[in-house]
Structure 1
Amino acid sequence: MITYIVQPGDTIKSIAKSYKVSVEKLVLDNGLTNPDNLVVGQSIVIVYPKQTHTVKDGDSLNSIATTYHISVKQLLRNNPILSDRTYIYPGEILIIDYDLEKIGDISTNGYAYPYISKDLLRYILPYLTYLTLFTYGLTSNGELIQIDDTEIIKIAREYQVAPLMLISTILNVGDFSTELTHNILSSKNIQEHLINNIVNNMKVKDYFGLYINFGFILIEDSPAYLDFIKELTDRLAKEGFEICVALAPNIIDQSGVIYKGHDYEGLGKAATAILLMTYDWGKTLGPTTSVAPIPMMRQVFDYSITKIPPAKTYIGIPTFGYDWTLQSISGITIVHYLSNNSAINLAIEKEAVIQYDDYSQSPFYFYEDSTNHILHIVWFEDARSVDAKLKLVTEYGFRGISILNVMEKFPQFWFVLNTQYNIRNAI
């Protein structure tokens, strides 16, 4: 895999000519929404096809996949332009595989909201092992707050992607309720009622498994939470369902309510799988930092592997960035969320130069707001930061990744993933 960094004077045509690839392929593979206006410091990924197929009369995706002994999902991953198409046409050239040795196997999970567009859903599904729908809410008496998920589950299964039901104690975005968690964990009757509701809903909706995310657990509720997960896991296993428990990123001797309430070792033994939510650093308040700095991720993993089997561990990877408003470079200020495409378009608008922080292994840039002359710093993800995070999966022997989130296109992410890893199926 070649990762080219845009230099002053570069154009998409000059890069394509230098590497003997078409402009169209560079644009598609990297998701360039404004290819005539590249940003100095922007990453461009180049991977050459190893084998291609020219479509003939009578060809279908199934027949082509059968001929080359690959899955239709792999064909769609290698040719994402087909995601919103019903037909293929004679003379089209489809990529069968890439001239790049795969690093290994990986399981992938993506978070989506029920209102995800069907076109976007069909675009990302070929890259996923699991799709998690965000999120079922809970009441204090163990009832489920329903979401509109029936059609999405049906489409996911059509792509052989396992749909996961997510329950959480989130009341607002990122706002976990310790009171709600405490109420549920204080009553065995409520827990039994909740478990029955979960199982019934999973059967009716045709879910494959369950994701559970109870954040900000009080230290005194930790034993009760572990007992609840044990009972929930046992019940789901009898019904043929898997369970994955989301844990806050923890390191040795770290204090705070979000951390101490999660018994890494106990939950690691109890659940089918564990998600380490390693996209928790660049939040709404705090010093400027990338969303998921590699050194911080490593600290979490160095601790987690002493408590949780790596083979049942998923790591969180973000697909978004933050725009920090600064009074000074070292100031502590409020941060604004933005997608990676928005980060690139903002850099174009502000004529910024993208830099790369070798410590956090993340791209960033500065710009000045023309209305109030306040300095901003933008942290986001690109091919280099994605590649660095994915390689941690192999290094630590983890099962896979959980992507927060898949609500916007990030083609470069999927291109880096698909060309270097074999994506597992669960169904």
Structure 2
Amino acid sequence: MSAERTSEFEVIALERLWFYVNVPDARSSFLQHLDKIDALVPFWFGVTQEGGLLDQSAPDVERTAKENDVPIIAIVHNYSDPQLGAIIHDLLVDATLRRRLVDSIEVVLASRSFAGVNIDFEFVPPADRPYLNAFMRELYSRLAPWFLVTISAPAKLSDDPQHPFSGAFSYAALGQYSHQVFILAYDEHFTVPGPIASIGFVRRVLDFALTEIPREKIKLGMAVYGYDWQEEGGFPETLSHAEAVARARRYGVPIIYDEQAQESTYTYTADGTRHIVWFEDARSFAVKLGLIRTLGLPGFAAWRLGQEDARIWGLI
């Protein structure tokens, strides 16, 4: 890749990583944009209680990626069990199970010729921080010479070991025991309406991350989707960019680009209930790309293929 100067930092051309799930719109987008994807990060392997992996891969996508020299960084996740926190707690605290899980990951990466692994453990109990660190240390020690070891970490503005969602994630330790940390700087608002990832929020998250993790190891996790909330809040409906735009048209309401948040939004009323929508588009994506370059970060990992504004591909 050619180098170019941005701000006071020297960075290579941005690495473009895309998360993938086994749904038709993701597959279609992947096939259309193979030449603009530097690595595919598919949601394919769920952990089991015994330290094994549940294979949820898509053979046709795997074959196409390999035929087109698109590296695969396979996600290992804990969504294979309804008790997300419980299953990952049991695996992390038991040294034998940790070792068995590392063995399982190594076998999959080697047998399938994957480029690496992305650890995506969610709802890890805060008290399990030392065990998550131990797992990543053991995984990195085993795999680092041959495979890329990465982890997805929730957005944080400071280090609070007691935080119910992010407390288990020590940026400093994870940066030490991985090649890359994907900082998932989105879902700024979830149970109440608001921006998915306002530029101010993303900047604050990255400013903190840079105090804990080497700059060259940080990938910005970027959203390309939207949320639709009922006015009183609660869990939102996830929308792709196309769905968000179509819904605004259906209800005849204008889409407003919020200059402070650098994100698109609108409101509408259906069956007497007011809804609030925020979503990402090419303009908000471009602003975050600019921030990545200003900070001298090596690239991004976007969630997820199939949900994006098609104009994004012209930017990257």
Per the TM superposition, whether the score is higher than 0.5 is: yes
Q: Tell me: CA distance 1:253–1:336, structure 2 relative to 1, closer, same or farther (3 Å).
A: same
1:179 aligns with 2:91: no
Equivalent residue for 2:187? 280
1:298 aligns with 2:203: yes
Equivalent residue for 1:249? 155
Q: Tell me: CA distance 1:252–1:115, structure 2 relative to 1, closer, same or farther (3 Å).
A: closer
Distance 1:347 1:228 in 2: 46
Distance 2:309 2:65 in 1: 19
Distance 1:228 1:108 in 2: 27
Give the conservation status (yes or no) of the 8 Å contact 1:137–1:145. yes
Q: Tell me: CA distance 1:167–1:346, structure 2 relative to 1, closer, same or farther (3 Å).
A: same
Equivalent residue for 2:118? 211
1:133 aligns with 2:7: no
Give the conservation status (yes or no) of the 8 Å contact 2:49–2:87. yes
- The AA in structure 1 aligned to 2:297 is F
Equivalent residue for 1:405? 304
Matching of residues 86-235 of structure 1 within 5 Å: 105-116=13-24, 118-171=27-80, 177-235=84-142
> Which of 355, 360, 381 is the matching residue for 2:280?
381
Q: Deviations over 1:196-245 (max 9, x none)?
A: 1111111222211100011222232111211111110111124x111111
Distance 1:282 1:126 in 2: 33
Matched residues, percent identical?
24
Give the conservation status (yes or no) of the 8 Å contact 1:277–1:315. yes
Give the secondary-structure state (helix, strand or coil) at the position aligned to 1:316: strand
Distance 1:219 1:104 in 2: 36
Equivalent residue for 1:62? none
> Which of 273, 288, 291 is the matching residue for 1:392?
291
Give the secondary-structure state (helix, strand or coil) at the position aligned to 1:282: coil
Give the secondary-structure state (helix, strand or coil) at the position aligned to 1:378: strand
Give the secondary-structure state (helix, strand or coil) at the position aligned to 1:217: coil
Distance 1:312 1:104 in 2: 13
Larger radius of gyration: 1
- The AA in structure 1 aligned to 2:264 is P
Q: Deviations over 1:254-302 (max 9, x none)?
A: 452212111110111110110001122232x2x2112111111111111
Root-mean-square deviation (Å): 2.0
1:347 aligns with 2:248: yes
- The AA in structure 1 aligned to 2:16 is T
Q: Tell me: CA distance 1:386–1:161, structure 2 relative to 1, closer, same or farther (3 Å).
A: same
Distance 1:338 1:257 in 2: 26
Give the secondary-structure state (helix, strand or coil) at the position aligned to 2:72: strand
Distance 2:67 2:235 in 1: 42
Uncovered stretches (5+) of structure 1, i.e. residues with no partner: 1-102, 418-427
Give the conservation status (yes or no) of the 8 Å contact 1:166–1:213. yes
TM-score relative to the length of structure 1: 0.68
Q: Tell me: CA distance 1:408–1:301, structure 2 relative to 1, closer, same or farther (3 Å).
A: closer
Uncovered stretches (5+) of structure 2, i.e. residues with no partner: 1-10
